[in-house]
Amino acid sequence: DQSPIARFLEKNPDGGLHHLCFEVPDLTAAIATVKAAGIRVLGEPRIGAHGLPVVFLHPKDCGGVLMELEQTAA
């Protein structure tokens, strides 16, 4: 009930797009690439819903869309 998705649905009862997730083979390298392109990373990598490392990118740097990078499983 307190998750970011729950808050999103409260604000958008008809649903909609919350974020896009892209799988990357090397999260550390992907973070370096997006930072070099001037895209802000929101916080440090953490374990996401699938038990894999994830990081989010600032929507204002991604055309207004919240982006998630998830490292693929080994």
Q: 62 near 39, Cβ under 8 Å?
A: yes
Structure tokens at 25: 């083979």
Residue keyed to tokens 């990118």: 57
Q: 73 near 52, Cβ under 8 Å?
A: yes
23 catalytic residue (yes or no): no
Catalytic residue among 10, 23, 44, 68: 68
Catalytic residue numbers read: 68
